[in-house]
Amino acid sequence: MMNLYSGTTCPFSQRCRIVLYEKGMDFQIIDVDMYNKPEDIAVMNPYNRLPVLVERDLILYEANIINEYIDERFPHPQLMPADPVMRARARLFLFQFEVELFAHIEALENGNQKQQDRARQHVADQLTQMAPVFTKQKYMLGDEFSMLDVAISPLLWRLDYYGVTLPKAAAPLMKYAERLFSRPAFIEALTPSEKVMRK
């Protein structure tokens, strides 16, 4: 049985919850208050961050690493591409999401006004650049839902909450976001605290 220690408002934990629900397997989610973490989190993860996955003797942290492990261990439905070239490309995209988008979450959540404004602008620009892709395809990698869609969806869900407004040019991206939000696994994976982030 897998246990996921998951922050109730943590976008990285949300990624792992989505993958677990997409796989529909046997797991337990242990909700952790982000502002009052139990001491054993720091014991399991030297960086004292969430999410943390525990399965028997295995302890994993970092959302992308956890998700790839779950994907390899429970291959249906497969969320990383089967082909090594496509899989490498997908990993590169995941890395870019971290650097270009998710690196700004700290500033959006805890920064001063200036840092928040800068982060909002940067995230809005990056997302707007991506938007044209979705005039031609349903998901990040084409017609198949993949780990890339999982990875970006927590940020898209929080745009209002973070005060990020997108221009009209980003309309295809917002349609894509609605597709992600209507997936049963996405809905099941939401915590009560996350549900209220979006009006």
Measured at the CA of 191, the angle between CA 186 and CA 194, to 5 degrees, comes to 85
Using only C-alpha atoms, the chain has a radius of gyration, in whole angstroms, of 16
The sheet that has 52-55: what strands, in order across it?
A: 27-32, 2-7, 52-55, 58-61
Q: Which of 10, 20, 29, 90 is catalytic?
A: 10
Whether 177 contacts 97, CB under 8 Å: no
Q: Quick one: DSSP state of residue 25?
A: -
Please tell me the distance from the alpha carbon of residue 125 to that of residue 21, in angstroms, as a whole number.
31
Helix residue ranges per DSSP H, the chain: 11-23, 39-44, 63-73, 84-100, 105-110, 113-130, 133-136, 147-157, 159-162, 171-181, 184-189, 192-195
Look-up of token digits 């982000």: 34
* Catalytic status, residue 16: no
Residues with catalytic roles: 10
